[in-house]
Chain A
């Protein structure tokens, strides 16, 4: 999976900035995408491209249970969020709804990867290649159940053993 990075070098990016509360009444996915990241980066919508990744710090997606958050990012074209850690509801919404991949990274990847870098992520071998900088980083492997749900294509397609 290849894409370019949009980097937000901060912790605690919350669901209120990913998709502000006034849009909670909206359930049209394309319209939600127009307002993705509006609370933090009003330019996001004009710069995001299909297949991009977001890179951020700790506790990404903290706050509310609004599935609007992964939906707005996914329908903006974001295929994965790389972060030092994730808030639990954002994480499970992203996986169970098969909207995007929440990828936990280590400090080295966080500090080394820059805005615009092109990455190639291979979740089968837990590896992130930085094609721009010619470097390789490890991602934290998904837990067993998360890996299976991702492989199945979301919770509804997952058949428990």
Chain B
């Protein structure tokens, strides 16, 4: 069995599973946020009316709550959702509620690794499609809707069809100007936004071994854009060190067997990878940056679970140090812990000196919620994950998806720019 199959076999109490088996998996961790949380509350209300008991959760210690999409509260409706969420966690005895304005908080997927909330080998589900991110820690991490999350909260388990696995092998390190974001955009361009549908996308090879945990998180994050059920990397000492430094104990790693099976293996040479952008209006609509259309950009947005981890901000700082931005540029660190490190290490000063607006952690404009949404005809380069029509604001705005290096270089020139081509 491969790693995903082994995790799902253990979670369903079976010796062995094969693709297409339907199982009920016991869940180790579950996450809700200020969009899926109120959605779940609504499901609970419906269940109550049907006479189903919703008085107690299966295990409130396994649940954690993020405030990320519409915070700091964007308007009155969002503010009420935050109040509802606080009442819910209080009533059900959920202690891990990361509240904005009260220390550590941030984007749910970022908290999953920054706070070591999910461990290797665990089954982790969340009320958000980018829950896939956390598979980079060697866990089975999968996004679900409100009804399914409500079911998990009450029963501690959920059904899955065991997925087929696509294996993406990266031979050798990525060049310095290329980031994990470029690699995953390249993959989505190759296999399409449906290419991973219902499947596992696993990453391995010497190039992945060389990668930081944060880069692997970027890869797994955007498996969602290929339609995958989960993204996963076999955990190694880097993962153990990363989680241990964030307070985790009792880490035990699950690995695939030597004779693990994969539906298909794709191979890439690290040295051949190039900076990539995904043009409007799909993550699969890719172009090499040096061949991208010469459009006048209005904005550069550096944020989200995909592109505002500490290493992403470091990459941006490398470009912006001693330079000025030519277009509106926003940087929103993905959590308070990252924000603080950026401050302590002088990154915020570099950003502010360059003319950037630095905002609080939030999903913000990535999903068109608030904090810098796009007007009609505005064109944005963004370190986020989707560029469907209207994703970041007006339905006639446009988003180019890129790595933090490219978004920063483009902020300096006002055009889509390869970081190697900056003076």
Contacts and interface: CB of A to CB of B under 8 A. Distances in A.
Contacts of B38: 25, 27
Given A24-B35, A27-B39, A87-B227, A97 B197 contact: no
B151 A155 contact: yes
Interface in A56-115: 58-59, 62-68, 85, 87-89, 92-93, 96-97
B121 interface: no
A96 B148 contact: yes
Contacts of A17: 388-390, 395
B390 A24 contact: no
Interface stretch (B138-146, B210-218, B257-265): B138-146
A146 to B, nearest CB: 9
B410 to A, nearest CB: 23
Interface string B347-391: 000000000000000000001110001000000000000101111
A125 interface: no
Contacts of A154: 147
Main secondary structure of the interface of A (DSSP, over half): loop
A89 B144 contact: yes
A46 interface: no
A40 B161 CA distance: 32
A21 interface: yes
Given A22-B369, A97-B147, A16 B390 contact: yes
A143 interface: yes
B227 A143 contact: no
B159 A145 contact: yes
B309 interface: no
B36 A62 contact: no
B194 interface: yes
Contacts of B47: 156
B253 to A, nearest CB: 27
B39 A92 contact: no
B280 to A, nearest CB: 12
Nearest to A42: B395
A58 B42 contact: no
Given A25-B81, A88-B229, A143 B151 contact: no
Interface in B128-150: 128-129, 131, 143-148
A97 B369 contact: no
Interface in B50-92: 50, 52, 69-70, 74-75, 77-78, 81
B368 A92 contact: no
Given A24-B35, A65-B127, A96 B161 contact: no
B198 interface: yes
Contact of B128 (A20, A65, A144): A65
Nearest to A26: B77
B58 to A, nearest CB: 14
Q: Which 6 A-B pairs have the closest CB atoms?
A: A93-B145, A21-B368, A97-B147, A67-B145, A21-B367, A65-B129
6 contacts: A20-B368, A20-B390, A22-B373, A27-B38, A59-B193, A92-B148
Given A16-B386, A160-B24, 9 more contacts: A12-B194, A17-B389, A20-B395, A25-B69, A65-B144, A97-B145, A145-B22, A145-B159, A155-B159
Interface of A: 12, 14, 16-17, 20-22, 24-27, 39-40, 58-59, 62-68, 85, 87-89, 92-93, 96-97, 143-145, 154-156, 160
